[in-house]
Amino acid sequence: MRFRLLKVIKCCLCILLLTCFFIQKNTKAEEINLFSDKAITILADSGEVVYEKNANVTDFPASTTKVMTAIIMMDYVKENEAITMSARSLQEEKSNSQILFSEGEKLDRNTALKTMMILSANDLAYAIGETVAGDMNSFVKMMNERAKKIGANNTHFTNPNGLHNDNHYTTAYDLALIAKEALKYPLIIKAMGTKEAHITTSKQMNKYIFNRGNMFTNPYFLAGKTGYTNTSRNTLIEIDQKDGQKIINILLRSSKPQYLNDIKLLDAYAFPRIYKKVIVKEEDWKKEIKVKDDVIQTKISEDLSFLTAKNPNTKYEVNVKEENALPTFYKKNGLHKNQKIGKVEVLSDGEIVTTADLLTAKSYDRPTVFTLNTLVIAGIIIVFFTIVLFTRPRRKRVYIKSRT
């Protein structure tokens, strides 16, 4: 009886554990109860989506638009060049009272960047557009072209500051791509992570400005940009970092203070799921390729590894792509050790997740007319004819005596 009772208890425990496992597995989509209507979290390096909620539904970005404005400015304005406040730019709706600009006032590029991000200055964003492109229509065209270039295909801008316009829209996913692009510009990220500063313009000296946002209270905060209009409600780009793992969080149609809690929920969801996946270590790469009938030993520039939040059993494909001109180059010049001869791509579901350079493992002289194979074949032919020549049976000579 006692044995049977223990057996029943064990069965019940097993069923309970299995039930918990399946519940945990199947409630992944419901694990986060976000207030924000639209949200997404992606890995900053690869763009891999970790979490999403209505991420491809269009909405209004408000002042998060200024991140794209900053990208365009950094591409076209040199550090020593100035942004000039025009009479038209000063007509834009004021977003702060900490600093008031006047017509003709100039800010150097980096000061303009920092001020725009800290104060979310609408008039300054407009002046940046005018300075870069000459007129607003041309600047907006540049913004939209850049959005399409980085894959933000459901985004359309009509101004550089995010003031409401029914035709000025984006998605959480597209905004994440724009933030990912901004990570290529350290000065933009630094400005987005600056809470306060003293700035100097052509007409104002050592003016103190500060960001009133609460995003700086997050211990994982690296950079961010808030936005708000009556129509869009609160919007947010926040780049967070923990233990070398960097994620991009986007919230649209949110509210204060709920969006702060939403960011905490996204961080708590994403960071524990991220791990380093190693496909091939640099020292374990042994692949050979054939160039002009010669076998070339290769190596890779670094480990084929990356951060991911995908299932550990996810299948990956490794593709080797040789440079098109490799055979011609090898024929003329040979190859030196560690020469780049192509690249290696790791793909998941057809998407590239990481790459490494394909290098030569040693030097190779350019091929000659008489290759080793040619010499071996020639040697065999010579030996064959030598054997035939010296082993050919000789004819016996027949002497005929002449009659006298």
Annotated active-site positions, please? 63, 66, 120
Q: For residue 145, list its beta bridge partners.
A: none
Residue 149 is assigned to a ligand binding site:
no
Cis peptide before 367 (omega within 30 of 0): no
242 Cβ partners below 8 Å, 6+ apart?
Answer: 220, 267, 271
Q: For residue 322, list its beta bridge partners.
A: 342
C-alpha pair distances (Å), 176 with each of 67, 215, 307: 11, 17, 17
What residue spans of 300-371 are helical by DSSP H?
326-333
Measured CA to CA, the distance from residue 360 to residue 400 in angstroms comes to 74
Consecutive H or E run containing 2:
helix 2-26
Q: Which residue has the tokens 């792509």?
A: 321
Measured CA to CA, the distance from residue 301 to residue 179 in angstroms comes to 28
Consecutive H or E run containing 343:
strand 340-348
* Cα-to-chain-centroid distance, residue 118: 25
Per 3-state DSSP, what percentage of the chain is helix, strand, and coil (rounded to 5)? 35, 25, 35
Q: Which residue has the tokens 């977003």?
A: 95
Q: What are phi and psi of 234, to 5 degrees?
A: -80, 135
Q: What are phi and psi of 295, to 5 degrees?
A: -90, 125
* Cα-to-chain-centroid distance, residue 197: 30
Closest CA to 364 of 326, 330, 314: 330
Measured CA to CA, the distance from residue 353 to residue 307 in angstroms comes to 9
Binding-site residues for substrate, in ranges, read 225
